Structure 1
Amino acid sequence: MKMPGNEKKRNIFFSFLLGNKERIRNKGSFQRLFQVLWRSWKRDLFSFAFNKYRPFLVFFLILCLVALWWFFFTGRWVATNDAYVTGNVIPVKAQTSGRVVEVLVESTQFVQKNQLLVRLDSLKQQVAFESAQHNLAMAVRRVEDLFNKARSLRHKIAAQKAILGRQRYDLGLYSSGSKAGVVSVQDAVDAQWKVAEIESTIRQLEDELRSTEAWIQKTTIWDNPIVLKAAVELKDAYLALYRCQIVAPVAGYIARRSVQVGDEVSPEKLLMSVVPLDYYWVVANYRETELRRIRPGQPVKIRADIYGRHYLYHGIVEGIEPGSGTVFSLLPPDNATGNYIHVVERVPVRIKLDPTELRKHPLRLGLSVVTKVNVSYQGQSVLKPLTEIPPEAKKTDYSSPYFTEELAGVDHLIKSIIEQNRYSQDQAENPNQAENSLSQKQQEIFPSPPSN
């Protein structure tokens, strides 16, 4: 009868323990016996453990895989798909009311900075501008007349004072002569009345001089209030005419053009928008439970839905908004009303994009993206954001010198009008030459925005 393998092995082992030296004669036999026993026990042990603890082993293996995946992929990254591309949207509005007579651009069209977009009806403003020029010329001539009048009154006063001196001298002679009987008393009385009459005339002239000097004292033709007031009115009329031409404040693409020829526009009405696509960023809304590990300076991986998984953007956390979205909403929540529901708030995080990657793969405002912040980097304090305007964008997108230089030409025009209307010997000889020179100067000075 053939014994089972396990029983045979046990008999061999027992015979070895009892000193059966006939079957085990040397050291090599002992090693072979030990290897046979070890292989048998190992196979039996593994078979028993695998069959009995199989669910536990599978669970442990899955737990190890999850731990490794969390450590290498999830633990170092904080991701969200509640993110979108945003940037500057520059509104285009009229600075004065008027009727549209010409529209020069269309939606999606690229425009340069200070390019003419819309032109308004400017006939009324042109008439007001010409009237303001004439008013300034009249003001200059009026002030010049006041200066001349004051000068003439001083001369008259000086002449009357000279006559008064002579009459007083004659009065003294007549008084002495009447006492000596040389001159009649009537002549002395007449001389006395002439002195009183001249003194009254001098006082009247001095009052007229003071009244005239009240308009011109301590001033010149350049800083007299009458001239300055007319100059300000001219500037106002100049601006009204100048602003009938609506230009692009920045370079970019036209979006949502709503203005039409014939529309009556006002400063409150939005005509269109200009979107500069050379500088934009990503706003990612992270849950408040995820913000404790997000810091400015941490790298970010970004995938845009427009390119899918074909391209990966790289960015950096610039800063975290000082409040959640509900705080800055139109109707902020009031949790003291009694109807309180706890919800996890989301806080916007600003992420800077790489300009080189944006030039290769342009984006558009409002596109959805997926962001992953690498929180294994330490970054810096949330109280020290890295947000700043790039120097190039600050010159192109955050400033428009056009609006601050609107009066650049009118000052020279005012100076020309004042010079042309001041009294001089040349004007007295050729009065038409000054008028022609002023008209030519106005055409040269009055600027117009560049057209497309």
Structure 2
Amino acid sequence: MVPADADESTASPRVVPLSDETVARGPATAPAPLQAPAAASAAAKPAAPKSPRKKRILLGIGALAAVAAVYYGVNYYLVGRFIVSTDDAYVRANNSTLGARVAGHIAEIVPGDNTLVKAGQILFKIDDGDYKIAVDAARRKIDTQNATIERIGRQIGAQASAVEQAQAQLASADAAANRAQLEFDRQQTLSKQGFASRSVYETSQSNRDQTDASVKAAKAAIDSAKSAVDVTKAQQQEARAQLQELRSSLDKAERDLAFTEVKAPVDGIFSNRLVNLGDFITTGQRLANIVPLNDVYIDANFKETQLRRLKPGQPVSIELDADSSRKIEGTVDSLSPAAGAVFTLLPPDNATGNFTKIVQRVPVRIRVPADVAKQNVLRAGMSVYVRVNTKADAAPAQ
């Protein structure tokens, strides 16, 4: 016996009567005789029913997609549309550059590279032998000048005594002059009456003149003694002024001696050391850098089209490229008054040649909490991704 499936495939093809529509279209559209049985067989087979498990899976996927769409839609409406973000952001720090304030050989380097240092900690020691000698010399000069001032003071005292002595001599000369004047007046009266000899009269006149001269000499001695006192006092003032200069020289020598110890100005990480033990350094030469831990911030370059929604005090979510799993909260601190291109060495000049419009970026300063900065997680130069929540009632980050 021949199977039914075989019969249908091997039997002569049946003639299918043409419909009126087929006849109207013409012979070009008539179905081929060999294709008609296959089409009829395919149409005769019923479609395989879908399994209940597959239906449940498809329904579950559809439900999850709907929930996800609703969640992301609501999240965008409530939060997402207020977020302004950029990946053009970098960690910055106000690095302290250490420089030598005196010249000399490096005698000691105290901390190791890339180690934590405290403000006031000694970092470098410069050979201080010459500076100690300068301090000792300045102190000896001050001692000598003090002795000079003391000697001048004694001279002033002696000259003051000379003034007093001259004044006493003047008083004595005045008394002698008064007696001589009285004697002269008496002899002159007697001479006119003819009771005194000519020689006695002339002697009294000579005594009067001598005593007057003694008075003038005493007065001149007083003036000279006073002038000597004034000159000596001027010398004393000059010596005191020189003493102040010597003290200033001592202060400078002591200051230079103190500068032989280079100390850390702030707390931070000691790095980028540029000198070695025994190197001779000059005044102003750069020695190393200190990256402070309490002065770390982020400069994010936002497009100019994003600025209208940014304001100081808005909370910021910070994601580190080095550790994307860690999120840090910050706060918008300030917005730059100009685009970054304005502060470049050669600002762009669009007034000449062809013009291609480029969206400018404006630096925005973002502050991070002090406790986070001190953890040394944010290192200067690192790249970060920032998201600013510009919603009006968003709470500023602490």
Fold match (TM-score > 0.5) = yes
- 1:113 counterpart (107, 119, 128): 119
**Corresponding residue for 1:174?**
180
**Corresponding residue for 2:233?**
213
Q: Does 1:311 align with 2:331?
A: no
Q: Could you tell me whether the CA contact under 8 Å between 1:298 and 1:378 is conserved in 2?
A: no
Q: Which amino acid aligns with 1:298?
A: Q
Q: Does 1:81 align with 2:101?
A: no
Q: Does 1:248 align with 2:264?
A: yes
**Corresponding residue for 2:195?**
none
Cα distance change of structure 1 residues 287 and 312 upon mapping to structure 2, 3 Å threshold: same
Q: Could you tell me whether the CA contact under 8 Å between 2:82 and 2:391 is conserved in 1?
A: yes
Aligned counterparts, 1:86-165, within 5 A: 86-165=92-171
Cα distance change of structure 1 residues 234 and 360 upon mapping to structure 2, 3 Å threshold: closer
Higher CA-based Rg? 2
Give per-residue Cα distances to partners, 1:102-145, cap 9 Å, x unaligned. Answer: 22223112222211111112222212211211222222222233
Give per-residue Cα distances to partners, 1:54-90, cap 9 Å, x unaligned. Answer: xxxxxxx9xx99x938646752322211111112311
**Cα distance, 1:356 vs. partner?**
4.9
**Cα distance, 1:369 vs. partner?**
0.8
Task: Name the SS of the counterpart of 1:135 in structure 2.
Answer: helix
Q: Could you tell me whether the CA contact under 8 Å between 1:84 and 1:367 is conserved in 2?
A: yes
Aligned counterparts, 1:373-452, within 5 A: 373-377=388-392
Q: Could you tell me whether the CA contact under 8 Å between 2:296 and 2:373 is conserved in 1?
A: no
Give per-residue Cα distances to partners, 1:388-421, cap 9 Å, x unaligned. Answer: xx9xxxxxxxxxxxxxxxxxxxxxxxxxxxxxxx
**Cα distance, 1:272 vs. partner?**
0.4
Aligned counterparts, 1:10-25, within 5 A: none
**Cα distance, 1:244 vs. partner?**
1.3
Task: Name the SS of the counterpart of 1:290 in structure 2.
Answer: helix
Give per-residue Cα distances to partners, 1:263-315, cap 9 Å, x unaligned. Answer: 2323432100111224422211101011111222222222111112x222222
Aligned counterparts, 1:21-100, within 5 A: 68=73, 71=77, 74-100=80-106
**Corresponding residue for 1:230?**
246
Q: Could you tell me whether the CA contact under 8 Å between 1:295 and 1:379 is conserved in 2?
A: no
Give per-residue Cα distances to partners, 1:290-347, cap 9 Å, x unaligned. Answer: 1111222222222111112x22222222221222112222233344445644321111
Q: Which amino acid aligns with 1:110?
A: L
Cα distance change of structure 1 residues 337 and 214 upon mapping to structure 2, 3 Å threshold: farther
**Cα distance, 1:189 vs. partner?**
4.7
Q: Which amino acid aligns with 1:139?
A: Q
- 2:378 counterpart (363, 369, 392): 363
**Corresponding residue for 1:203?**
223
**Corresponding residue for 1:331?**
346
Q: Could you tell me whether the CA contact under 8 Å between 1:295 and 1:378 is conserved in 2?
A: no
Task: Name the SS of the counterpart of 2:381 in structure 1.
Answer: coil
Give per-residue Cα distances to partners, 1:173-204, cap 9 Å, x unaligned. Answer: 33544663285665555444433333332222
**Cα distance, 1:160 vs. partner?**
0.7
Q: Which amino acid aligns with 1:372?
A: R
Task: Name the SS of the counterpart of 1:148 in structure 2.
Answer: helix
**Cα distance, 1:159 vs. partner?**
0.8
Cα distance change of structure 1 residues 102 and 212 upon mapping to structure 2, 3 Å threshold: same
Task: Name the SS of the counterpart of 2:346 in structure 1.
Answer: coil
Separation in 2 of the partners of 1:92 and 1:347?
31
**Cα distance, 1:360 vs. partner?**
6.5
Structure 1: give runs of 5+ residues left out of the alignment: 1-60, 381-385, 391-452
User: Could you tell which deviates more after superposition, 196-205 or 77-86?
Assistant: 196-205
Separation in 2 of the partners of 1:315 and 1:262?
45
Q: Could you tell me whether the CA contact under 8 Å between 2:293 and 2:373 is conserved in 1?
A: no
Separation in 1 of the partners of 2:341 and 2:140?
58
**Corresponding residue for 1:434?**
none
TM-score by length of 1: 0.62
**Cα distance, 1:361 vs. partner?**
7.8
Aligned counterparts, 1:283-322, within 5 A: 283-308=299-324, 310-322=325-337
Structure 2: give runs of 5+ residues left out of the alignment: 1-65, 188-199
TM-score by length of 2: 0.70
Separation in 2 of the partners of 1:324 and 1:311?
30
Task: Name the SS of the counterpart of 2:341 in structure 1.
Answer: coil
Q: Which amino acid aligns with 1:324?
A: A
Q: Which amino acid aligns with 2:167?
A: K
Task: State the aligned residue count.
Answer: 316
Cα distance change of structure 1 residues 262 and 188 upon mapping to structure 2, 3 Å threshold: same
Task: Name the SS of the counterpart of 1:262 in structure 2.
Answer: coil
Separation in 1 of the partners of 2:356 and 2:235?
73
Give per-residue Cα distances to partners, 1:196-239, cap 9 Å, x unaligned. Answer: 3333322221221222233557x9x9xx5343332222211111
Q: Could you tell me whether the CA contact under 8 Å between 1:111 and 1:252 is conserved in 2?
A: yes
